[in-house]
Amino acid sequence: MKLTSPLAVLVLAAMTALGPLATDMYLPALPAMAESLDATAGQVQLTLSVYLLGFAVTQLVCGPLSDSYGRKPVLLGGFGLFLIASVVCAMASGIEVLLAGRFLQALGGAVGPVLGRAMVRDIHEPEHAGRILSYMASVMAVAPAAAPVIGGGLLVAFGWPSIFVLLTAYAAVMLVVIAWLWPEPLPVERRQSIHPGVILGNFRMLIVQRSFVGYTLTNASAFSGLFAFLSGSSFVLIEFLGVSPTMYGVLFAVVVGGFLSGTLLSGRLSGMGSHRVVPLGVGLCLLGGGSMAVLAVAGVYHVLAVIPSHAIFLAGVGVVMPQTMAGAIAPFPQCAGSASSLFGFIQMTAAALTGAAVGQLHDGTSRTMALTIAVAGLGALASYVFLVRPARRAAEKPAHT
């Protein structure tokens, strides 16, 4: 397979889509899983947070490993572990086994998004990375749009374990593609030592770069708003507002349509530079999150008070995510795996904590979820204004003197 071909972009998107598939496909089944496993809503929502925490921690390891040994061996190991863990989840008879299986899924599933981002930098120059990531995100938008619809259909037809059977099959297909069709994109001369001192040195170098931290926190804030919806939406829409699991999938596809619109817009505008495109996305996040919060606080409890607002928020996320990924990772080709790992660790840790908070503070209405999404939009704004913009001004200053 030629790594610069459109087919390679599709494969990269399929690798990266493993994360959204593993989180979104089983969302319509959360209330049914709670009943089947004799668990509380908070316990079942922990399966999402446990996955995100495991995902976050693993990212710190798989990126540096791939910088040393190459991308392909780490991809094969990760997808193999994800396959085994999905079988465990499908066979779980108690919430404790399901939590353990979800954690193992995260350990394997992290390789797709981390190495997908890193391989974009392996293959493409910085000026093209934002555009490629935007196109990947557009393709990936199909996954979260279709996943809840598919999950709801499987739930009704075969029960919730069938959702994890399908994830097992997906991982098996990806293993075949990577093993037989995917070439190694990282040349030997660009590989780094796996020595802990080198890894920590890379992380230390990255964490003091204001632009890296700013782009990463802008992304993490917007992404946290997305996961606030993932954690709370099934209980708000299905239990509180009385939406059926199948209709939940349809509504989820509608809000993901906002994300798809944002990624397409981000790709078209990528030539303007991330410093011009990211503020547009942040503004959409503020508008969507703010409107949902105002309606919830005012006591307007209706599907139309949630879905349109979150579609606007996700349009902002679709604009922000590819541009902040490129802005954070592209300047560091010598350690793209480590940069992607640290970026993903911060992103997923913030999302996991946000999802857990929404689950634990859920009051039976849409207020907790809506207010959390609004705060996420404010966090994205603060990160951009106080970190990214000053870093860019500092970088441009020598050019004017």
pLDDT of residue 103: 94
Q: Which of 25-39, 40-54, 134-148, 371-385 has the highest mean pLDDT?
A: 371-385
Residue 399 has pLDDT above 70, yes or no: no
Question: How confident is residue 222, by pLDDT bands cut at 50, 70 and 90?
Answer: very high
The CATH number for 6-185+193-394, chosen from 1.20.1250.20, 2.30.40.10, 3.50.50.60, 1.10.10.10, is 1.20.1250.20
Domains of the chain by residue range: 6-185+193-394
Burial status of residue 173 (CB atoms within 10 A of its CB: 0-12, 13-18, 19 or more): exposed
For residues 54-65, average pLDDT: 84
207 — pLDDT class (breaks 50, 70, 90):
very high
Torsion angle, alpha carbons of 159, 164, 166, 167, to 10: 160
Two tokens at 154? 């499987």
Greater confidence (231 vs 90) lies with: 90
* CA dihedral (72, 73, 74, 75) positive or negative: positive
Closest among 192, 195, 208 to 335, alpha carbons compared: 192
Contact 314, 262 (CB under 8 A): yes
Q: pLDDT-based confidence at 108, cuts 50/70/90?
A: very high
The answer to pTM > 0.85 is no
- 25-39, 47-61, 89-103, 151-165, range with the lowest pLDDT: 47-61
Q: What is the mean pLDDT of residues 112-140?
A: 75
Q: Residue 140's pLDDT is what?
A: 64
Contact 141, 263 (CB under 8 A): yes
Quote the tokens at residue 339.
């940069």
Cβ–Cβ < 8 Å for 271, 127: no
pLDDT top residue among 147 and 290: 290
CA angle 133, 82, 233 (to 5 degrees): 65
The yes-or-no verdict on residue 158 having pLDDT over 50 is yes
**Amino acid letter, 28:** P
Q: Are 145 and 260 in contact (CB under 8 A)?
A: yes
Average pLDDT (356-383) is 92
Q: Taking 80 as the threshold, does the pLDDT of residue 227 lie above it?
A: yes
Q: Cβ–Cβ contacts within 10 Å for residue 96, how many?
A: 12
